[in-house]
């Protein structure tokens, strides 16, 4: 019997595994594809805050950025490359947002490095920019190393049954707690209020004679990769989904789009694409992540009728699945959020520390129940 079974070995699942192992707990980790075989393996994995004017997501991402930058640097420095991060505005509205961000931020702002500035296009040079200390995670390596000490099982989880006081997984393995970290894939536990949208992304590794030591973000991200190569990537294709589209994703067209967008920021000479990475990232419908216990909707509707339609529902009155949790919906910031959220979730499971209602999956149950 394991203390926790984690389903999904992307950055979210591996970060939870890391926290449990650190607490001396036994962990079994499942993934149908392998470690970082889903969206996490496709990611550029930049560690960056959200450069917007205001809002709760911006605030949360600022805290997560500060926490995770330090976390990767201290614990996984071998798989974390510190690189100045230059974010350039795309248009006038973006100029304004970056301007406001710069006035308010506590982060230490830098000048754009001269060797990068000289390579920017005239259009990029005209725009507002922010340059700070950022970093890039080696996604595969970090996920592998974070899950060191967990029993890894390469298997699709099809069944999850609660039996007395523990969960039985695929009729074979048992665990006291289960964490669903299944990204944009089908939710194993079907609950009508849990809705996630998958956004397709494509990243290419290119060989080029252009030198670029910085992470540059404008229409796409252009960053140093290993062995002197560059990585160019974006999660932008909201219209493509591997399970819903009949036509296969057009890789050549995707490459051309990425290179065309990169050329709007800087000129890249003698480019040769050497590898493609593709995957889905999952986001929630209010853009905030979903972390915590799962409400059992049928039972809650049946037993808590009186509490469902009040203006400010008390989530503690809902009925929850026993010892079943999720961590998902990190959008384009999975690598920034995962260490921060995994700590919050682990402290909740092991020490009963409360999770903010703003990230609890129960908020979606409350809205769904009212609309019914």
Ligand X SMILES: Cc1cc2nc3c(=O)[nH]c(=O)nc-3n(C[C@H](O)[C@H](O)[C@H](O)COP(=O)(O)OP(=O)(O)OC[C@H]3O[C@@H](n4cnc5c(N)ncnc54)[C@H](O)[C@@H]3O)c2cc1C
Would you say 273 or 304 has its CB closer to ligand X?
273
Count of residues engaged in binding ligand X, rule: CB under 6 A: 42
Would you say 313 or 329 has its CB closer to ligand X?
329
Task: By CB under 6 A, tell whether 154 contacts ligand X.
Answer: no
Among 17, 27, 40, 88, binds ligand X (CB under 6 A): 40
Would you say 173 or 307 has its CB closer to ligand X?
173
Residues 297-356 touching ligand X, rule: CB under 6 A, are 328, 330, 332-336
Among 45, 98, 206, 216, binds ligand X (CB under 6 A): 45
What is the separation, in whole angstroms, between the first and last Cα of the chain?
39
Q: Provide, rounded to whole angstroms, the least separation between the CB of residue 312 and ligand X.
A: 30
Selection from 254, 173, 202, 231 nearest residue 2 by Cα:
173
CA distance 62 to 49: 5
Largest CA-CA distance found in the chain, in angstroms, rounded:
67
Q: Provide, rounded to whole angstroms, the least separation between the CB of residue 27 and ligand X.
A: 15
Task: By CB under 6 A, tell whether 12 contacts ligand X.
Answer: yes
Among 188, 194, 216, 294, binds ligand X (CB under 6 A): 188
Q: Where does this chain touch ligand X (CB under 6 A) — which range of 35-43, 249-257, 259-267, 355-363?
A: 35-43
What is the per-residue DSSP string for 123-155? HHHHS-EEEEEEEEE-HHHHHHHHTTTSEEE--
Contact 150, 246 (CB under 8 A): no
Neighbours of 236 (CB within 10 A): 18
Would you say 8 or 224 has its CB closer to ligand X?
8
Task: By CB under 6 A, tell whether 361 contacts ligand X.
Answer: no
Among 6, 9, 220, 294, binds ligand X (CB under 6 A): 9
Contact 159, 167 (CB under 8 A): no
Nearest 5°: phi and psi at 144?
-60, -50
Contact 360, 367 (CB under 8 A): no
Would you say 63 or 165 has its CB closer to ligand X?
63
Task: By CB under 6 A, tell whether 134 contacts ligand X.
Answer: no
CA distance 169 to 191: 18
Among 21, 37, 132, 179, binds ligand X (CB under 6 A): 37
Would you say 44 or 313 has its CB closer to ligand X?
44
Neighbours of 172 (CB within 10 A): 9
Would you say 60 or 369 has its CB closer to ligand X?
60
CA distances from 59 to 26, 49, 143, 258 (A): 34, 9, 26, 30
Which DSSP category does 244 fall into? T
Among 43, 79, 112, 342, binds ligand X (CB under 6 A): 43
Would you say 150 or 369 has its CB closer to ligand X?
150
Instruction: Give residue for tokens 């970060």.
Output: 15
CA distance 119 to 92: 22
Contact 9, 143 (CB under 8 A): yes
Task: By CB under 6 A, tell whether 367 contacts ligand X.
Answer: no
Site string (273-292) toward ligand X, x via CB under 6 A: ------x-x-----------
CA distance 241 to 146: 29
Cross-strand bridge partners of residue 168: 161, 174
Site string (241-270) toward ligand X, x via CB under 6 A: ------------------------------
Q: Provide, rounded to whole angstroms, the least separation between the CB of residue 85 and ligand X.
A: 10
Among 119, 177, 182, 284, binds ligand X (CB under 6 A): 182
Residues 196-225 touching ligand X, rule: CB under 6 A, are 201-203
Neighbours of 343 (CB within 10 A): 19
Query: Counting every residue, how long is the chain?
Result: 372
Q: Contact positions toward ligand X, by CB under 6 A?
A: 7-13, 30-33, 37-40, 42-46, 156-157, 181-185, 188, 201-203, 233, 235, 279, 281, 328, 330, 332-336
């Amino acid at each position: 019997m394991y203390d926790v079974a984690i389903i999904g070995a992307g950055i979210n699942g591996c970060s939870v595994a890391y926290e449990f192992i650190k607490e001396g707990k036994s962990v079994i980790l499942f993934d149908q594809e392998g470690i970082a075989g889903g969206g996490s393996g496709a990611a550029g994995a930049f560690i960056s805050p959200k450069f917007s004017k205001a809002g709760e997501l911006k605030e949360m991402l600022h805290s997560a950025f500060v926490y995770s930058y330090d976390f990767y640097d201290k614990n996984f420095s071998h798989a974390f490359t510190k690189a100045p991060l230059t974010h350039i505005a795309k248009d006038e509205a973006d100029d304004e947002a970056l301007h406001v961000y710069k006035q308010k931020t506590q982060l230490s702002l830098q000048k754009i490095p001269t060797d990068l500035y000289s390579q920017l296009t005239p259009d990029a040079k005209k725009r507002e920019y922010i340059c700070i200390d950022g970093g890039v995670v080696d996604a595969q390596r970090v996920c592998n190393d974070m899950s060191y000490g967990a029993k890894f099982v390469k298997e699709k989880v099809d069944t999850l049954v609660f039996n007395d006081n523990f969960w039985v997984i695929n009729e074979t393995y048992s665990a006291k707690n289960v964490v669903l970290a299944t990204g944009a894939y089908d939710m194993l536990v079907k609950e009508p209020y849990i809705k996630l949208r998958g956004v397709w992304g494509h990243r290419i590794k290119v060989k080029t004679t252009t030198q670029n030591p910085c992470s540059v973000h404008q229409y796409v991200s252009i960053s140093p990769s290993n062995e002197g190569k560059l990585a160019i990537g974006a999660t932008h294709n909201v219209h493509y989904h591997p399970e819903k589209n009949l036509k296969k994703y057009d890789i050549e067209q995707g490459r051309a789009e990425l290179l065309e967008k990169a050329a709007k920021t800087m000129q890249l000479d003698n480019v040769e694409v050497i590898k493609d990475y593709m995957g889905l990232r999952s986001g929630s419908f209010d853009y905030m992540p979903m972390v915590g216990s799962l409400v059992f909707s049928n039972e809650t509707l049946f037993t808590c009728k009186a509490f469902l339609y009040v203006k400010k529902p008390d989530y503690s009155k809902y009925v929850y699945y026993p010892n079943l949790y999720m961590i998902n919906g990190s959008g384009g910031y999975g690598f920034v959020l995962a260490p921060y959220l995994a700590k919050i979730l682990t402290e909740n499971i092991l020490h009963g520390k409360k999770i903010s209602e703003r990230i609890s999956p129960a908020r979606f149950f409350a809205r769904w129940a009212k609309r019914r």
